[in-house]
Structure 1
């Protein structure tokens, strides 16, 4: 399983020599995704321009037994687009056309390289928008959103990518092109669209994506509230949901995250406060106004020390600029960091944040927190200095935080995926039989294991884990018999 001279020539014939990168300095541009702690230089990078060229590249991989990793903008935070040293990266950045916007049926058809924000820009003239909005929405692509089942700040009310994708044109590991899903969310037969969404590039490459669009809300109301403690902010979140109010978004940031964001974009957050909440409501004017008053009352009851209500679109944009800049802004207060992505029940937010702080103190490392509080999706950022030899401690702490979320009744990931980062922790959440079933589903799409190998599921190479209970017979491995 490697790229030899014959394979490289076939890639150059399929795509053109100028669309095959083999120059070592250029290859290093693709050595990692947003999780920069893991780096692997691929043997080649392929730059297809069309879906047909993607399929042609995958067929060459299948013919030469070459592993491949699909890559969008490289903004993933779990090592999901980490290359394979003896394989190729198939970049989808050139497939960036909006193929159709249908305002009647409220849907859009896109190539995988279209950025998340550009979907809404294309839909806006029709009074429509695309709801999932990851923090990196200006640069992250819909193909990567599909692979990771991304969410974003507004997933509390509107759901994740899987709730907004109707159909997918997919290139399988054999090079065959198939369509999963259809014109509506409900289809007869097995939900293969659902299998593909969130599979982290391990069962194929999406080359055309049909998404549903929503009507732009009649009104939007946004507030920024400071609190004397993380516990007080967490109680507000629980009380808002208990009151029957489902905000479009509820985001929380702690002192370190606020410090970093203010240093970067000067959004008007209060430096030094223990916690801040961003709460946004949208919908009909009268309903939104009534619910907004109720949210404000809940904030004040829990000791809110400052409450700023966005007076216009510019102020609302500033509030969101502070929140959405936080991940990148942390680079201003730490040379290196790991971003974690666990989920806990909302009622345990204060508990888990307290334990994370204690764990960080034990390791002598700082942890910044910025996350989707409304659905308990945490994003702890473990800050460290690789030059000071702190990498191993930071990586271990990041893994323990993910597993702590499972211990408290949550999950390893809400939207960033498992990737390389958390594959070894999967047995903490799933049993041996569960993992074996997942592996067999994956192998049904990709029997040779060429499609983004080493991601998502624990393997002996990665973790020293024993495979699941299914053991293929030697005759089956030799192709003499077939398992039914």
Structure 2
């Protein structure tokens, strides 16, 4: 597939003597765990974009900041690229390694350092699992709001790198809205603190710039996140529709009425049936679409909003409306949605998970056009949405063992992302660009804008050693893809052109 171009990058990197590199790492950090055997490296050759694999030159698993600094300095001195990895749950190829590079795995940085319940702040290492933060804060009546579907496994460092979202981010924001401070090591090995424990800090907002930078600007070694009180009352409504476009229109009605749910999720019939067979969530398998709407806050407000939302859903054409009777049923409703991806994996040998964002008003149109594209490419698409904020996750079903199906899946995915841009949206909402969407970056951004992206990259990483070949395309690549002309005929930073 065209977005995987290890060979092109690999051919431009210098040959590295692995034995000499290991010797240098041992000299600087004697206790550092280093993996070099093929069978030890194999588990790290991909992230959640599992169809594409590259064996790293070696893997290091540091357990202290000094060890991370030693790895960075040894790599920088030898011009060896460095890819940082959390739990490997990412879905855009952002943590895929290079054959001539070091894979820096932060799994051992797994401690919750402190919880300040009065200030509502948790200090954690980057390898702490997303869900573990809320579990640790629960005894204080607090929780960490962003909740990706992979929250049982994904790490907070990876969440910051990708600016992860989740089903409750409509009301509570993405990772960038819930992180107060990060400590990072630069490519020079310098320790920097971006942000502060306060709600704001002086100068440029480098914390927001760094969040979502996909490991291209520095290595995260500590994160301070915002903790919120757990809501005292929660209700979940499940509405069924005989037409997916009606469900899309219902989303706009709810938000337009001034109601901001804790979560507002949509699934189409294919996703409904897959999830019901897998989780037995109580979903209506004959519905063409369902909406899950969670309302939270004080009991009186929740009751009032639930009545308004129920009325709006009926007006939008809901054929059935159910309210979760208790916490057990509420968790079951959400379990079906959060397990939609693995559920679809049970009905297809392979699937390709997209991640585009569109204006809510465009949901009905985009759903119709995805259906038309599905017919054109002769591949089924199961649609799962963070509908409230327009973040779509079309799951393209295919069989990689059938000649041409993988290429058709990629082409269909590209068309869906370009449709998102066409209607005023973005090619990613939370999964990041990585390698998966690098061609579509050429569609979304002008040459001048990509110039500025490269300028920011060069300011932090002038040699281009941190996660090269990800996120930002070269203008030459965009010209090859056919999406733009090369701006002024060359890149503004020639040292990055090789990537």
Tell me the SS of whatever aligns to 1:387.
coil
- What is the CA–CA distance in structure 2 between the aligned matches of 1:184 and 1:457, rounded to whole Å? 32
Matched, 1:459 2:471: no
Q: Are 1:3 and 2:30 matched, yes or no?
A: no
**Secondary structure at 2:462 match in 1:** coil
Matched ranges for 1:461-480 at <5 A = 464=480, 468-469=487-488
3-state DSSP of counterpart to 2:221: strand
Counterpart position of 2:108: 94
Partner of 1:118: 132
Aligned to 2:323: 309
Secondary structure, in 3 states, of the residue corresponding to 2:392? Answer: coil
Q: Are 2:411 and 1:396 aligned?
A: yes
* SS of match in other structure, 1:386: coil
Asked if structure 2 preserves the Cα contact closer than 8 Å seen for 1:436 and 1:470, the reply is no
Partner of 1:127: 141
Does the 8 Å CA contact 2:476/2:486 hold for their aligned counterparts? no
Deviations for 1:73-104, whole angstroms, at most 9, x for unmatched residues?
11111111111111011101110000000011
Q: 1:421 aligned to 428, 432, 436, which one? A: 436
For 2:396, what is the secondary structure of its paired residue?
Answer: strand
Instruction: Provide the residue aligned with 2:11 in structure 1.
Output: none
Q: How does 1:49-448 map to 2 (within 5 A)?
A: 49-389=63-403, 390-448=405-463
Give 3-state SS (helix, strand or coil) of 1:452's partner.
coil
The worse-fitting range, judged by mean Cα deviation, of 444-453 and 261-270 is 261-270
| Closer/same/farther in 2, CA of residues 49 and 2 from structure 1, 3 Å limit | farther
In the alignment of these two chains, the number of paired residues is 476
Deviations 1:212-231 (A, max 9, x none): 11111121111111111111
Deviations 1:339-375 (A, max 9, x none): 1111111111011011011111111101111110001
Q: Deviations over 1:439-472 (max 9, x none)?
A: 1101110011110000001136865367654857
Q: Is the 8 A contact 1:68 1:451 kept in 2?
A: yes
Computed over aligned residues only, the root mean square deviation of the Cα atoms, in angstroms, reads: 1.7
Deviations, residues 375-416 of structure 1 (Å, cap 9, x unaligned): 111100111100012111111111111111000111111111
**Residue 119 of structure 1, CA deviation:** 0.5
**Secondary structure of the structure 2 residue equivalent to 1:173:** coil
Secondary structure of the corresponding residue to residue 157 of structure 1: helix
Q: Structure 1 residues 92-101 or 421-430, which shifts more? A: 421-430
The aligned counterpart of 2:464 is: 449
Q: 1:16 to 1:29 in 2, by over 3 A?
A: farther
TM-score (norm 1): 0.95
Bigger mean CA offset, 206-215 vs 456-465? 456-465
Q: Per the alignment, in what secondary structure is the counterpart of residue 100 of structure 1?
A: strand
Q: Give the match's secondary structure for 1:53.
A: helix
In structure 1, the gaps of 5 or more residues are 478-484
Contact 2:267 2:385 in 1 (8 A): yes
- 8 A contact 1:133–1:152 mirrored in 2: yes
Q: Which residue of 2 aligns with 1:38?
A: 52
Q: CA deviation at 1:14?
A: 3.8
Distance 1:467 1:123, change over 3 A: farther
Question: Is the 2:32–2:60 contact (alpha carbons within 8 Å) kept by the matching residues of 1?
Answer: no
Whether contact under 8 Å (1:78, 1:418) holds in the other structure is: yes
Distance apart, 1:473 and its partner CA: 9.0
Q: Is the 8 A contact 1:436 1:469 kept in 2?
A: no
Contact 2:357/2:425 (<8 A) preserved: yes
- Contact 1:365–1:382 at 8 Å: present in 2 too? yes
Q: How much does 1:248 deviate?
A: 0.7
For residues 55-87 of structure 1, the C-alpha deviation after alignment (integer angstroms, 9 at most, x for no partner) is 211111111111011101111111111111110
What stretches of structure 2 of length at least 5 have no aligned partner?
A: 1-13
How far apart, in 1, do the equivalents of 2:66 and 2:192 lie?
Answer: 12
Change (3 A) 1:85 1:458: same
Cα-to-partner distance string for 1:165-212 (whole Å, 9 max, x where unaligned): 111110112222111111113111111111110001111111100011
